[in-house]
Amino acid sequence: MSEGRRRAAAFYGVRAASQFGQSLALAGLFVLAGTSAHMAWGLSSVFVGMMAGAIIFGLPGGALADHLGPGRALVLGAALRLVAIVGALLVVSQPAFVMAASFAYSAASQVFSPAELALVSALHPGRAARAHGVLIAAQYACHGIGAALAPVLFLLWGPSAAILAAAFVYAALIPLTVFLAREVVRAGGEYRVPPRAAFALRHVAAFFLRRKAAGQAALALVFNDLATKCLMVAAPVYLHRELGLARSELALLAGPAAVGVVAGSLWAVRSARGPAAVSAVRAAVAGATVGLVALAGLSDGLAAALSRAPNDLAPLTDPGTARLAVAFPVALLLGAAFGTAPIAGRAALSELTPRTLQARTFAAQASLSDLVVLAPLIGAGMGVEAVGARLAFAVVAGFGLALLLLFESARLRRWAAATLLEDAPVGERLA
The confidence band for 431, taking pLDDT boundaries of 50, 70 and 90, is: very low
User: What confidence tens digit (pLDDT) does each residue in 369-392 have?
Assistant: 988 877 655 655 555 555 567 787
- Interval 138-143 mean pLDDT: 92
Res. 10: pLDDT tops 50:
yes
Res. 423: pLDDT tops 60:
no
Dist CA 423 CA 271 (whole Å): 40
Of the candidate ranges 15-29, 147-161, 340-354, the one whose mean pLDDT is the lowest: 147-161
pTM: 0.86
Share of the chain above pLDDT 90, in %: 44
Dist CA 267 CA 335 (whole Å): 12
Q: CA neighbours within 13 Å on the CB side: how many for 210?
A: 9
pLDDT score for 248: 66
Highest mean pLDDT among 337-341, 405-409, 414-418: 337-341
Q: What average pLDDT does the structure give for the chain?
A: 83
84: nearest Cα among 111, 66, 63, 59: 111
Res. 162: pLDDT tops 80:
yes
The confidence band for 430, taking pLDDT boundaries of 50, 70 and 90, is: very low
pLDDT score for 253: 78
DSSP string, 335-363: HHHHHHHHHHHHHHHHHHS-GGGHHHHHH
Do 337 and 264 meet the contact criterion of CB atoms below 8 Å apart?
Answer: yes
Res. 244: pLDDT tops 60:
yes
- Interval 25-52 mean pLDDT: 76
pLDDT score for 417: 64
Going from the C-alpha of 15 to that of each of 2, 23, 66, 112, the distances in angstroms are: 20, 12, 19, 11
**Between 269 and 97, residue with greater pLDDT:** 269
- Interval 85-106 mean pLDDT: 83
Question: Is the Cα dihedral 214, 219, 225, 227 positive or negative?
Answer: negative
pLDDT score for 98: 82
The confidence band for 164, taking pLDDT boundaries of 50, 70 and 90, is: very high
pLDDT score for 427: 52
pLDDT score for 383: 54
DSSP string, 24-87: HHHHHHHHHHHTSSSHHHHHHHHHHHHHHHHHHHHHHHHHHHHHH-HHHHHHHHHHHHHHHHHH
Res. 57: pLDDT tops 60:
yes
- Distance, first Cα to last Cα, the chain: 69
pLDDT score for 382: 54
Query: Cβ contacts of residue 169 below 8 Å, gap of 6+?
Result: 17, 20, 21, 24
pLDDT score for 425: 60
Dist CA 307 CA 311 (whole Å): 9
pLDDT score for 372: 83
pLDDT score for 238: 73
User: What confidence tens digit (pLDDT) does each residue in 302-353 have?
Assistant: 555 555 555 555 555 555 566 667 778 888 999 999 999 999 999 999 999 9
The confidence band for 281, taking pLDDT boundaries of 50, 70 and 90, is: very high
User: What confidence tens digit (pLDDT) does each residue in 172-181 have?
Assistant: 999 999 999 9
29: nearest Cα among 141, 150, 143: 150
Share of the chain above pLDDT 70, in %: 80
Dist CA 27 CA 17 (whole Å): 15
pLDDT score for 202: 87
Domain architecture of the chain: domains with CATH: 3-200 (1.20.1250.20), 209-420 (1.20.1250.20)
Res. 12: pLDDT tops 90:
yes
pLDDT score for 304: 56
